[in-house]
Structure 1
Amino acid sequence: MGLFQEFRQFAIKGSAVDIGVGMVLGAAFSGFIDSLVKDILLPPIGLLYSKMNFQDLYISLSGNAYPSLEKAKEAGAVTINYGLFITAFVRFMIILFAVFLVVRQINHWKKPHQHPIDSMTKKECPYCCTPIPSQAIICPNCSSTLEKQEHIRKKTPRWRINS
């Protein structure tokens, strides 16, 4: 299935209200994480590295030295702001981990019949003897038609009918 088709199915199945609420909560959560990274996590790390402020870590491409990133921007210097990148990366990793925890918890809360992996009971294919989902009609391993096989076993085969 292509990426566009998967996205289309997601958009059709998803609720617009759920997506809207998720975006609002995500924006609020993003502000919270941004403050956590900039105001709580990075200052002690910067203190460990010689009282360094991650916001002021940059490389000036003009060759001139400036006391801070703000002074370099005021002078119009072209800079690579790797300190801001480090801050954004730490922020991204925290948000990614938090989203992982939320999705993981939601998957735990789902009822067994809603989660396809948990609700899938197995049976054995009579042709290839591999475990397959109990509701399978065609074996995914050997491509045998299982529904017809059950009907054949229940009924007398047509070629063996005695007249």
Structure 2
Amino acid sequence: MGMVSEFKEFIAKGNVVDLAVGVVIGAAFGKIVTALVEGIVMPSISLLSGGVSFKDWKHVITPAVMDPATGKEKVAEVAIKYGDFIQTCIDFLLIAIVIFLFIKVYNRMRKPAEAPADAPPSEEVLLLREIRDELKK
């Protein structure tokens, strides 16, 4: 029965719930940023690059081989698709910047930790101080 009670205590602390909420919100936020990058940022960059989609940027190592009789691809091309990688890096950077700004605002809004009030020393501490002072004499 000890394991069950420990698990209940672990769940009741709230850390697990906070983590679950953070994961769900993070996943939703990731989708928002991906939509922003794919729908707004990358098309803008695409205009600067002559209308080529960013995802289409690649270095072809071996071109595809077509079957002349059917017109279908016989052997797929081998290419390094660096455009997709760059787009994913931009996604990551935007998410990291927004999370950084969010944490910065959150930390400013959070109340500073109050300093504990100076409590009078306990009797043991007073007694030890007296002994110390007597020994110094």
Q: After TM superposition, give the deviation of residue 74 of structure 1 in Å.
A: 8.7
What CA distance in whole angstroms lies between the structure 2 residues aligned with 1:159 and 1:98?
60
- 1:63-78 matches, within 5 Å, as 64=63, 75-78=75-78
C-alpha RMSD over aligned residues: 3.3
Q: After TM superposition, give the deviation of residue 76 of structure 1 in Å.
A: 2.0
Which residue identity does 1:103 align to in structure 2?
I
Question: What residue number does 2:25 align with?
Answer: 25
1:9-43 CA distance string (max 9 Å, x none):
xxxx8711111111111111111100100111111
- Secondary structure of 2:99's counterpart equals helix
- Higher-RCO chain (CA-CA 8 Å, sequence separation at least 6): 2
- 1:104-143 matches, within 5 Å, as 104-113=104-113
What CA distance in whole angstroms lies between the structure 1 residues aligned with 2:80 and 2:25?
32
TM-score with structure 2 length normalisation? 0.66
- Secondary structure of 2:133's counterpart equals coil
Instruction: Please say which structure displays the higher CA radius of gyration.
Output: 2
What CA distance in whole angstroms lies between the structure 1 residues aligned with 2:60 and 2:20?
41
TM-score with structure 1 length normalisation? 0.57
What CA distance in whole angstroms lies between the structure 1 residues aligned with 2:85 and 2:74?
20
Question: What residue number does 1:51 align with?
Answer: 51
Q: May I ask how many residue pairs the two structures share in their alignment?
A: 110
The more displaced of 44-53 and 19-28 is 44-53
What CA distance in whole angstroms lies between the structure 1 residues aligned with 2:48 and 2:133?
82
What CA distance in whole angstroms lies between the structure 1 residues aligned with 2:96 and 2:133?
59
Unaligned runs of 5+ in 1: 1-12, 67-72, 120-146
Question: What residue number does 1:35 align with?
Answer: 35
1:114-136 CA distance string (max 9 Å, x none):
7xxxx6xxxxxxxxxxxxxxxxx
Which residue identity does 2:90 align to in structure 1?
V
Q: Say which structure is richer in helix.
A: 2
Unaligned runs of 5+ in 2: 1-12, 66-72, 116-124
Q: After TM superposition, give the deviation of residue 155 of structure 1 in Å.
A: 5.6
